[in-house]
Amino acid sequence: MSDDIFNWLENWFEQHCDGQWEYENSIVIETTEKPGWMVMIDVANTRASRKNFLPIQEERNHRDWIFCAVADDIFEATCGVHNLREVLGVFRNWIESFEDI
């Protein structure tokens, strides 16, 4: 298991690519106006589908914040400019809480 969150996410995505899943599901990472990041990861047709996720809302200050939730099999997060690795880590921890990758 890699310690780099981006390598981990690449591996998680690759493990689910089966010639069909990748056409129906996506990972989106965009910038926001606040400024910050928005992350949406579709977990339909994975072991994460329909798994419980307790929303996270932490606003430490106007530059250091994260909001994470899961709705309709989509992990959705927004965060401050320097919190992208943190929200991807939240996703990873959630996945690894029930799936051995």
Q: Express each pLDDT in 63-94 by its tens digit.
A: 999 999 999 999 999 999 999 999 999 999 99
Q: What is the pLDDT of residue 20?
A: 82
Q: Which residues face 72 on adjacent strands?
A: none
d(CA 85, CA 49): 22
> What pLDDT, on a 0 to 100 scale, did the predictor assign at position 101?
46
The structure's pTM equals: 0.90
Instruction: Give the mean pLDDT of 43-65.
Output: 93
Task: Using CB atoms within 10 Å of the CB of residue 59, give its burial: 0 to 12 exposed, 13 to 18 middle, 19+ buried.
Answer: exposed
